[in-house]
Amino acid sequence: MATDSLSKNLGTWDMLTMNVKPRLPELPQLDPTVQALDAVIFEGRVLQGIQETHRKQLRETTQRSKDLARRGRDLRNKLVAGLQSAYGVESLELLGYGVQPRLPKRRTRLTKAQKAEKERLEALEKVAADAGLKV
């Protein structure tokens, strides 16, 4: 994250200025640079504070959004359950409310080839079980 590298840089810069300040009488030409770097460090700390405020607001907003979605989902489910109770879970009337009815599932019939394959597998499993093999 950009903030992590900014934090590292600010820490490094702050340590550098703290180490240079006691030696400024010996190196007066560095005084304007140290002051400018101190100003940059201060501005960076202010910026970090602003970022943290925005992160906090984002976390709160995200939490509110999740809570709102959960409440809406719960209320929607209650409403659908009420409609299903009134009309029946398989009623096509539910389509008028945007709810899919539970349609009965049709039984799929096996073709002759599928029946033969199924019988062959069952016979093999029986033979294996009789022989004491685990299938």
40-77 pLDDT, tens per residue? 999 999 999 999 999 999 999 999 999 999 999 999 99
pLDDT of residue 104 exceeding 80: no
pLDDT band at 107 (very low <50, low <70, confident <90, very high): confident
- Spatial neighbors of 17 by CB under 8 A, at least 6 apart, are 34, 37, 38, 41
Query: CA 19 from chain center: how many Å?
Result: 44
7 vs 16: CA distance, rounded Å: 14
pTM for this model (two decimals): 0.54
Could you report the per-residue pLDDT of 21-43, keeping only the tens digit for each? Answer: 999 999 999 999 999 999 999 99
For 98-111, what is the mean pLDDT? 84
